Structure 1
Amino acid sequence: MTAAPVSFTRAGVWRGFVLAQPLAPGVALYGLVFGVLAGERGLSWLQALLMSVFVYSGSAQLAALEVWASASGLAALLLTILAINARYVLYGAALQPWLAPLPRRHALGSLFLLGDGSWVLSMREWERGERDAGFVLGSGLAGLLPWLGGTVAGHLLTSGLPDPRAWGLDFMLPAFAAAIAISVWRGRGDLAVLAVAGVTALLLHRLVPGGWYIVGAGLAAGAMGAWRHGR
């Protein structure tokens, strides 16, 4: 049986946008948290918005805020983002059957807007027989809009408070990071990765000034995970 050819249509973009709407409230809340933390750490609303546009990764942006606050420099900031966003290389490779036949402008645009939720949704639809690659772009757009809106709303919320620390907003980053860790916990098999990341972070925090412990923990956890799954 011949597989259906891959296409890219406006109808596919719209279908992806509509089917991804259930993810929008969670994305908006995540953006709100980032906006609050960005304002608490001294970023302007425009800086926070541009970060959400060009980095477009909640976990990487939250970690980057910690590096920003520690004044570790541009190198540490970039390495933090690259280490945490390395998973998108695998996401892109998984989408290769879908995006490879497309013109480069369509493929790159879809990859630029790719998020965790839209990738999962797109892979599910591929397995169900969807062959309109506009779906990938549409589901990515559905995440981008609430992410940007949440970022601006969160920053405006912070700017209206005389002392964000009095409201406990300075604790939101570790609290939100802990919540993310719990949500992705898959059982005892993750203990080794968690232990390596924790020990690396503690050692670098004590031995190396600035936010390099975030970079080191991310790289160590990635290496440990790759080793475990490659055995």
Structure 2
Amino acid sequence: MPEQTPATARSAFLEGAREISVLVPGIFPFGMVAGISAMQAGLTPLQAFGGSLFIFAGASQLVAYELIGNAAPVLLIVLAALTVNLRFLLYSTALAPLMAPLPLRLRALCAYIMTDQAYAFGYRRWTEHPERPFPQAYYMGAALPLLATWLSSTVAGILLGSGVPDEWGLQFAVPLCFIAILVPAVKDRATLAAALVGGSVAIMLGGLPWKLSLLIGALCGIMAGVLLSARPTAKEPGNA
């Protein structure tokens, strides 16, 4: 049966929400880990919820909470969070032509609700199915449910605190979420190099204090990807 094309922005929004729903079960424990980590770092419940509301970036939140709990310098905490979030600059640049027709308030909303998952779904739908209308509505339909899931799961983590049994295995939720994002994203030599170099450096430097291995690994991965993408691709044999 041919795929039905959404006739309205509302139907495209619902399409995005429906397709992103498969990731919600993995996002919820991720958000719980963020809430629990914030409480264990010494934040108040209001501060922990504010982190998810105003930052809304799980990886950088976890890095920041880890550093806060280890009494790291404020400058290092900010630098680490910004480094982890550098990928959103690339995401925003890639989606800028898509969002350009929207008014400023909606472009700001789309920037705020951007996540790895929403970007991946929205960009794929826009580039692989350009004939399907209302890609902006689809993107928002994919992104907003993740925001609601993130905030509600953070509250659950705050309420549970450290009372979550180890048998639940919540510590595996974060790496599993990022593995699910990373594997489809590796489509060329540059992204493969960034993933391999960044991960390898972070593992090798795992003994450094204040989780500096993550910061250094991220920087090395970014540099590897940029350097490789800047190199001209080799010409195929027989081509002039």
* Aligned ranges 1:92-131 → 2 under 5 Å: 92-126=92-126, 127-128=128-129, 129-131=131-133
Contact in 2 for aligned 1:35/1:48 (Cα 8 Å): yes
Consecutive unaligned residues of structure 2, counting only runs of 5 or more, are 1-7, 232-240
The equivalences for 1:91-170 within 5 A come to 91-126=91-126, 127-128=128-129, 129-132=131-134, 133-158=136-161, 161=163
For 2:226 and 2:40, the matched residues in 1 are separated by: 35
Q: Which residue of 2 aligns with 1:5?
A: none
Match of 1:3 in 2: none
Amino acid corresponding to residue 157 of structure 2 in structure 1: G
State the alpha-carbon separation in 1 of the partners of residues 53 and 101 from structure 2.
27
Q: Which runs of 5+ in 1 are unaligned?
A: 1-7
Task: State whether residues 19 and 142 of structure 2, in contact with CA within 8 Å, keep that contact through their aligned partners in structure 1.
Answer: yes
CA distance in 2, matches of 1:181, 1:137: 21
Write out per-residue CA displacement over residues 37-88 of structure 1, whole angstroms, 9 at most, x where no aligned residue: 2222222222111111122122111111111112112211111111111111
Letter of the 2:149 partner, please give it.
P
Does the 8 Å CA contact 1:19/1:139 hold for their aligned counterparts? yes
Instruction: Name the aligned partner's letter for residue 197 of structure 2.
Output: A
Q: 1:92–1:111: 8 Å Cα contact kept in structure 2?
A: yes
Point out which structure has higher relative CO (alpha carbons under 8 A, 6+ apart).
1
Q: What TM-score, normalized by structure 1, do the two folds share?
A: 0.77
Aligned position for 1:34: 34
Q: Is the 8 A contact 2:32 2:155 kept in 1?
A: yes
Please state how far the C-alpha of 1:152 moved relative to its aligned partner: 0.8
Whether the aligned pair in 1 keeps the contact of 2:197 and 2:217 (CA below 8 Å) is no
Partner of 1:61: 61
- How does 1:43-82 map onto structure 2 within 5 Å? 43-82=43-82
One-letter amino acid of the counterpart of residue 143, structure 2 = G
Q: Using the TM superposition, give the Cα deviation of residue 200 of structure 1 relative to its aligned residue in structure 2, in angstroms.
A: 5.1
Equivalents in 2 of 1:149, 1:51: separation in Å?
13
CA distance in 1, matches of 2:145, 2:221: 30
Q: Deviations over 1:160-212 (max 9, x none)?
A: x3xx7xx669x976x6665567554669855433333344555xx2xxx6454
Residue 132 of structure 2 aligns to a residue whose secondary structure is coil
Letter in 1 for 2:142: S
Contact 1:197 1:220 in 2 (8 A): no
Using the alignment, how far apart are the partners of 2:227 and 2:34 within structure 1?
Answer: 32
Contact 1:201–1:216 under 8 Å retained in 2: no
Aligned residues: 212
CA contact (8 A) 1:200 1:213 kept: yes
Superposed CA RMSD: 3.0
1:197 alignment counterpart? 202
Aligned counterparts of 1:147 and 1:16: Cα–Cα separation in 2:
17
Q: Percent identity?
A: 28
Task: Show the counterpart of 1:4.
Answer: none
TM-score using structure 2 length: 0.74
